[in-house]
């Protein structure tokens, strides 16, 4: 099997930092996870571009669509979900509304606020981007057998639980 980026990285740096506790196995896992994250980020960028979106537009639609109330949220809820300032979210929503991907309507419960809703066009664009992302993910993990993928998921879950303890993913 060919040497991967992580193996070349570790070989390059292993002997340079003899005064630092350098664990090859931990470094290999960390670098590989970073490369997989880079793949996910790039496949998202490509999918967004293919359907005519900027990454931030896709991310905003995604935050809107993967909620407990798919396709409906307040601007504040979206800002929190996307980790964007309220002013930044306003700019994003302006662009999405201008493109016909969302609409803002007065809230039914609080006349001072608005509700953001995905339009049918917004849902369609988001679904097409999601399909493209899914294809990229299936190509990536197609390197594994179903049994290997199940094992990988069990192992990643163990690591993710520690990460969630230290840095909770959700408030």
Contact between 73 and 116 (Cβ < 8 Å):
yes
Q: How far is CA 29 from CA 5, 15, 143, in A?
A: 11, 18, 17
Give the rounded distance of the alpha carbon of 5 from its chain centre. 22
pLDDT tens for each residue of the chain, 171 residues long: 788 989 998 888 877 766 777 788 999 999 999 999 999 999 999 999 999 999 999 999 999 999 999 999 999 999 999 999 999 999 999 999 999 999 999 988 888 889 999 999 999 999 999 999 999 999 999 999 999 999 999 999 999 999 999 998 765
Tokens read off for 8: 């070349």
DSSP 58-114: HHHHHHHHTSSSTTEE-HHHHHHHHT--HHHHHHHHHHHHHTTSEEEEE-SS-TTSE
Go through the domains of the chain in sequence order and give each one's CATH number: 5-164 (1.10.10.10)
**Three-state DSSP state, 49:** helix
Give the residue among 35, 60, 36, 37 at the shortest CA–CA distance from 48: 60
| Torsion sign over Cα 155, 161, 162, 163 | positive
């Amino acid at each position: 099997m060919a040497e991967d980026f992580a193996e070349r990285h570790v070989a390059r740096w292993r002997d340079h930092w003899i005064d630092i506790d350098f664990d090859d196995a931990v470094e290999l896992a960390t670098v590989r996870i970073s490369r997989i994250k880079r793949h996910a980020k790039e496949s998202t960028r490509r999918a967004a571009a293919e359907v005519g979106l900027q990454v931030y537009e896709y991310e905003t639609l995604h935050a809107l669509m993967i909620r407990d109330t798919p396709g409906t949220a307040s601007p504040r809820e979206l800002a929190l979900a996307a980790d964007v300032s309220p002013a930044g979210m306003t700019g994003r929503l302006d662009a999405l509304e201008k493109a016909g991907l969302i609409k803002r309507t007065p809230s039914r419960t609080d006349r001072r606020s608005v509700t953001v809703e995905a339009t049918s066009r917004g849902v369609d664009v988001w679904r097409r981007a999601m399909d493209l992302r899914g294809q990229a993910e299936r190509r990536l993990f197609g390197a594994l057998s179903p049994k290997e993928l199940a094992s990988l998921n069990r192992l990643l879950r163990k690591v993710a639980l520690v990460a969630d303890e230290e840095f909770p993913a959700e408030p």
